[in-house]
Amino acid sequence: EDKVVQSPLSLVVHEGDTVTLNCSYEVTNFRSLLWYKQEKKAPTFLFMLTSSGIEKKSGRLSSILDKKELFSILNITATQTGDSAVYLCAVVGGGSNYKLTFGKGTLLTVNP
Amino acid sequence: NAGVTQTPKFQVLKTGQSMTLQCAQDMNHNSMYWYRQDPGMGLRLIYYSASEGTTDKGEVPNGYNVSRLNKREFSLRLESAAPSQTSVYFCASSGEAWGPQHFGDGTRLSIL
Protein backbone atom coordinates (compact mmCIF):
# COMPACT_ATOMS: atom_id res chain seq x y z
CA GLU A 1 0.00 0.00 0.00
CA ASP A 2 1.31 3.43 -0.93
CA LYS A 3 2.13 5.71 2.00
CA VAL A 4 2.90 9.40 2.36
CA VAL A 5 3.83 10.55 5.85
CA GLN A 6 4.27 14.18 6.79
CA SER A 7 5.97 15.46 9.90
CA PRO A 8 5.50 17.18 12.15
CA LEU A 9 1.70 17.12 12.24
CA SER A 10 1.69 20.64 13.65
CA LEU A 11 4.20 23.34 14.37
CA VAL A 12 4.03 26.74 16.08
CA VAL A 13 6.75 29.31 15.41
CA HIS A 14 7.34 33.04 15.73
CA GLU A 15 7.55 35.43 12.82
CA GLY A 16 11.03 35.45 11.37
CA ASP A 17 11.78 31.82 12.22
CA THR A 18 12.84 29.29 9.59
CA VAL A 19 10.86 26.06 9.36
CA THR A 20 11.43 22.72 7.68
CA LEU A 21 8.51 20.46 6.85
CA ASN A 22 9.08 16.82 5.99
CA CYS A 23 7.40 14.39 3.64
CA SER A 24 8.47 10.75 3.35
CA TYR A 25 6.90 8.28 0.98
CA GLU A 26 6.65 4.67 -0.07
CA VAL A 27 5.02 4.36 -3.48
CA THR A 28 5.30 2.02 -6.42
CA ASN A 29 6.94 3.54 -9.50
CA PHE A 30 7.45 7.06 -8.19
CA ARG A 31 6.71 9.75 -10.76
CA SER A 32 6.47 13.09 -8.95
CA LEU A 33 5.97 14.81 -5.60
CA LEU A 34 3.89 17.95 -5.19
CA TRP A 35 3.52 20.46 -2.36
CA TYR A 36 0.36 22.45 -1.74
CA LYS A 37 -0.63 25.16 0.76
CA GLN A 38 -4.14 25.09 2.17
CA GLU A 39 -5.47 28.06 4.06
CA LYS A 40 -9.19 28.30 4.71
CA LYS A 41 -10.45 26.80 1.48
CA ALA A 42 -8.79 25.41 -1.62
CA PRO A 43 -5.26 23.98 -1.67
CA THR A 44 -2.94 26.03 -3.86
CA PHE A 45 0.00 24.55 -5.74
CA LEU A 46 3.53 25.37 -4.57
CA PHE A 47 6.05 22.99 -6.18
CA MET A 48 6.34 19.85 -8.25
CA LEU A 49 9.52 17.78 -7.99
CA THR A 50 10.52 14.91 -10.20
CA SER A 51 14.31 14.85 -10.08
CA SER A 52 16.43 14.16 -7.08
CA GLY A 53 18.70 16.86 -5.68
CA ILE A 54 17.32 19.78 -7.66
CA GLU A 55 15.97 22.57 -5.48
CA LYS A 56 12.83 24.40 -6.47
CA LYS A 57 12.60 27.92 -5.08
CA SER A 58 9.96 30.60 -4.96
CA GLY A 59 10.67 33.62 -2.79
CA ARG A 60 11.09 32.46 0.80
CA LEU A 61 9.92 28.92 0.02
CA SER A 62 12.10 26.15 -1.33
CA SER A 63 11.84 22.40 -1.69
CA ILE A 64 14.10 19.52 -2.56
CA LEU A 65 13.58 15.84 -3.27
CA ASP A 66 15.76 12.89 -2.30
CA LYS A 67 14.67 9.88 -4.36
CA LYS A 68 17.24 7.61 -2.81
CA GLU A 69 16.05 8.21 0.74
CA LEU A 70 12.41 8.69 -0.36
CA PHE A 71 11.66 12.06 1.14
CA SER A 72 11.21 15.73 0.41
CA ILE A 73 11.52 18.84 2.55
CA LEU A 74 9.79 22.18 2.28
CA ASN A 75 11.70 25.11 3.78
CA ILE A 76 10.20 28.45 4.65
CA THR A 77 12.61 31.19 5.72
CA ALA A 78 11.75 34.43 7.54
CA THR A 79 8.22 33.18 8.23
CA GLN A 80 5.30 35.59 8.24
CA THR A 81 1.82 35.27 9.75
CA GLY A 82 0.50 34.81 6.22
CA ASP A 83 2.43 31.53 6.02
CA SER A 84 0.05 30.03 8.59
CA ALA A 85 -1.68 27.16 6.78
CA VAL A 86 -1.78 23.41 6.32
CA TYR A 87 0.97 22.24 3.98
CA LEU A 88 0.13 19.14 1.98
CA CYS A 89 2.46 16.74 0.26
CA ALA A 90 1.19 14.50 -2.55
CA VAL A 91 3.00 11.75 -4.43
CA VAL A 92 2.16 10.38 -7.86
CA GLY A 93 3.12 6.80 -8.52
CA GLY A 94 1.70 3.70 -10.11
CA GLY A 95 2.42 1.62 -13.15
CA SER A 96 0.12 1.78 -16.14
CA ASN A 97 -2.54 3.27 -13.85
CA TYR A 98 -1.36 6.38 -12.09
CA LYS A 99 -2.01 6.68 -8.41
CA LEU A 100 -2.03 9.84 -6.32
CA THR A 101 -1.66 9.80 -2.55
CA PHE A 102 -1.80 12.80 -0.23
CA GLY A 103 -0.22 13.02 3.18
CA LYS A 104 -2.31 14.25 6.09
CA GLY A 105 -0.59 17.61 6.14
CA THR A 106 1.40 19.77 8.53
CA LEU A 107 -0.43 22.59 10.30
CA LEU A 108 1.91 25.57 10.56
CA THR A 109 1.00 28.44 12.85
CA VAL A 110 3.16 31.57 12.72
CA ASN A 111 2.64 33.91 15.66
CA PRO A 112 3.53 37.61 15.49
CA ASN B 1 -10.73 34.84 -13.47
CA ALA B 2 -12.88 31.97 -12.17
CA GLY B 3 -10.57 28.93 -12.39
CA VAL B 4 -12.45 25.97 -10.89
CA THR B 5 -16.03 26.62 -9.80
CA GLN B 6 -17.95 24.23 -7.57
CA THR B 7 -21.66 24.33 -6.79
CA PRO B 8 -23.23 24.27 -4.31
CA LYS B 9 -20.94 25.55 -1.55
CA PHE B 10 -23.01 23.97 1.23
CA GLN B 11 -25.65 21.27 1.27
CA VAL B 12 -27.52 19.27 3.90
CA LEU B 13 -29.10 15.97 2.86
CA LYS B 14 -31.07 13.28 4.55
CA THR B 15 -29.87 9.69 4.44
CA GLY B 16 -30.96 8.06 1.20
CA GLN B 17 -31.36 11.27 -0.80
CA SER B 18 -29.44 11.75 -4.03
CA MET B 19 -27.33 14.72 -4.98
CA THR B 20 -25.05 15.89 -7.79
CA LEU B 21 -22.09 18.14 -7.12
CA GLN B 22 -21.14 20.29 -10.08
CA CYS B 23 -17.67 21.35 -11.13
CA ALA B 24 -16.57 23.50 -14.06
CA GLN B 25 -13.16 24.82 -15.07
CA ASP B 26 -12.34 27.56 -17.54
CA MET B 27 -8.62 26.88 -17.98
CA ASN B 28 -8.96 24.43 -20.90
CA HIS B 29 -7.50 21.69 -18.70
CA ASN B 30 -7.59 18.10 -19.87
CA SER B 31 -7.74 16.36 -16.49
CA MET B 32 -10.21 16.73 -13.66
CA TYR B 33 -10.48 15.16 -10.19
CA TRP B 34 -12.84 14.76 -7.27
CA TYR B 35 -11.56 14.51 -3.68
CA ARG B 36 -13.05 14.31 -0.24
CA GLN B 37 -11.33 15.79 2.79
CA ASP B 38 -12.10 14.52 6.28
CA PRO B 39 -10.48 15.51 9.59
CA GLY B 40 -7.41 13.40 10.25
CA MET B 41 -7.65 11.68 6.86
CA GLY B 42 -6.25 14.25 4.46
CA LEU B 43 -7.40 14.49 0.85
CA ARG B 44 -8.54 11.25 -0.74
CA LEU B 45 -9.15 10.81 -4.44
CA ILE B 46 -12.65 9.60 -5.32
CA TYR B 47 -12.62 9.61 -9.12
CA TYR B 48 -10.62 11.26 -11.83
CA SER B 49 -10.87 11.96 -15.55
CA ALA B 50 -7.49 12.03 -17.24
CA SER B 51 -9.03 13.37 -20.43
CA GLU B 52 -12.43 14.13 -21.88
CA GLY B 53 -14.34 10.90 -22.39
CA THR B 54 -12.52 8.86 -19.73
CA THR B 55 -13.14 8.35 -16.02
CA ASP B 56 -11.39 6.10 -13.51
CA LYS B 57 -11.75 5.16 -9.88
CA GLY B 58 -9.51 6.64 -7.25
CA GLU B 59 -8.91 5.52 -3.68
CA VAL B 60 -12.47 5.77 -2.32
CA PRO B 61 -15.01 5.41 -5.19
CA ASN B 62 -17.72 3.39 -3.42
CA GLY B 63 -21.05 5.19 -3.20
CA TYR B 64 -20.18 7.71 -5.92
CA ASN B 65 -20.51 8.07 -9.67
CA VAL B 66 -19.05 10.66 -11.99
CA SER B 67 -19.74 12.13 -15.40
CA ARG B 68 -17.28 14.03 -17.56
CA LEU B 69 -19.94 15.99 -19.40
CA ASN B 70 -17.49 17.82 -21.65
CA LYS B 71 -13.98 19.21 -21.33
CA ARG B 72 -15.09 21.89 -18.87
CA GLU B 73 -17.44 19.98 -16.58
CA PHE B 74 -17.04 17.02 -14.24
CA SER B 75 -19.89 16.12 -11.91
CA LEU B 76 -19.99 13.86 -8.85
CA ARG B 77 -23.20 12.05 -7.94
CA LEU B 78 -24.24 10.47 -4.66
CA GLU B 79 -27.10 8.08 -5.53
CA SER B 80 -28.13 7.25 -1.96
CA ALA B 81 -26.39 9.48 0.55
CA ALA B 82 -25.07 7.97 3.79
CA PRO B 83 -23.82 9.76 6.94
CA SER B 84 -20.32 8.42 6.20
CA GLN B 85 -20.28 10.65 3.12
CA THR B 86 -20.41 13.79 5.25
CA SER B 87 -17.29 15.60 4.17
CA VAL B 88 -15.82 18.53 2.28
CA TYR B 89 -15.60 17.74 -1.42
CA PHE B 90 -13.03 19.36 -3.68
CA CYS B 91 -12.88 19.38 -7.44
CA ALA B 92 -9.57 20.04 -9.17
CA SER B 93 -8.19 20.26 -12.69
CA SER B 94 -4.77 20.08 -14.31
CA GLY B 95 -3.43 20.76 -17.75
CA GLU B 96 -1.68 17.41 -17.96
CA ALA B 97 -2.68 14.26 -16.12
CA TRP B 98 -1.26 14.26 -12.58
CA GLY B 99 0.41 17.63 -13.05
CA PRO B 100 -0.08 20.61 -10.73
CA GLN B 101 -3.75 20.87 -9.87
CA HIS B 102 -5.99 23.89 -9.42
CA PHE B 103 -8.67 23.35 -6.80
CA GLY B 104 -12.16 24.72 -6.38
CA ASP B 105 -13.25 26.20 -3.04
CA GLY B 106 -15.04 23.03 -2.00
CA THR B 107 -18.55 21.87 -1.16
CA ARG B 108 -19.35 21.22 2.49
CA LEU B 109 -21.83 18.33 2.53
CA SER B 110 -23.63 17.12 5.63
CA ILE B 111 -25.78 14.00 5.62
CA LEU B 112 -28.14 13.50 8.52
**Per-residue pLDDT tens over the stretch A10-56:** 999 999 999 999 999 998 889 999 999 999 889 999 999 998 878 89
Contact B100 A104 (CB under 8 A): no
A29 close to B (CB below 8 A): no
Check if the beta carbon of residue A98 is closer than 8 Å to that of residue A9. no
Q: How confident is the model at residue B85 (pLDDT cuts 50, 70, 90)?
A: very high
- CB burial string A62-71: b at 16+ within 10 A, e below: bbbbeeeebb
Distance CA B32, CA B2 (A): 16
Q: Is the pLDDT of residue A97 over 80?
A: no
Contact B58 A48 (CB under 8 A): no
User: Among A88, A110, A111, which Cα is nearest to A101's?
Assistant: A88
List Cα–Cα distances, A85 to A27, A41, A107, in angstroms. 26, 10, 6
What is the reported pLDDT for A1? Answer: 79
Distance from CA of B5 to the nearest CA of A (A): 11
Beta bridge partners of B13: B111
A93 close to B (CB below 8 A): no
CB contacts of B101 in chain A (<8 Å) are 34, 43, 45
